[in-house]
Structure 1
């Protein structure tokens, strides 16, 4: 069973962040520049929230608010669901499904060590299934 520590080793530990006082425009620009769908929100190095493209669409765009004037802190989610490196891919997928989120910060104690997306988990699952299929095919053809 694959644990998230292995997923992060393959993917990398890069985490992109903004502060709660940054504008939504800053956040959306960073997401576009880095080709990611979410950013963690850090205040003096402490995880205080998460902001996603969904937050932007629902809380800025659909409400006619101004991206350059709206602060990230006004639209971010402060109830951050997270996992640890020892969680399995299956546990993370179940949590994402239950909480209807697509991105999970990975915390080791108080330290943010990475972030995983549903795409990362799907990629890991496909890779694991491919390995099992290859092993079964080798076994059968012997």
Structure 2
């Protein structure tokens, strides 16, 4: 089960750049008390240093940083952008779905990545998420296998 709740889902957010998109997704986790602001900035820094490595599929980005003391609990946010944003990935741009993830340790981090990838690789579920009009709709789509 993914650590996802309505408070960390935002639909039709406006982002001018990849960094905006990462901060929107990260700040949802900060507001929910799950990570510190420093974690969001480390996600931005990872993007600036390493590029769009976390754009894992067409239109989908999973920004994250290394598990550390700025992560209070395993968590995930989901942001669907109003307009897709170019992250600089050679095959998977532009991005419209941004899921920020944070793990308390490497094992939890990898387990969450696997669970999320499994859901997002299901075309029917992904289409449902992209059409959803409420956070509750997204949540029920992602929680039911």
Given the two structures, how large is their TM-score scaled by the length of structure 2? 0.27
Larger gyration radius, structure 1 or structure 2:
1
Given the two structures, how large is their TM-score scaled by the length of structure 1? 0.27
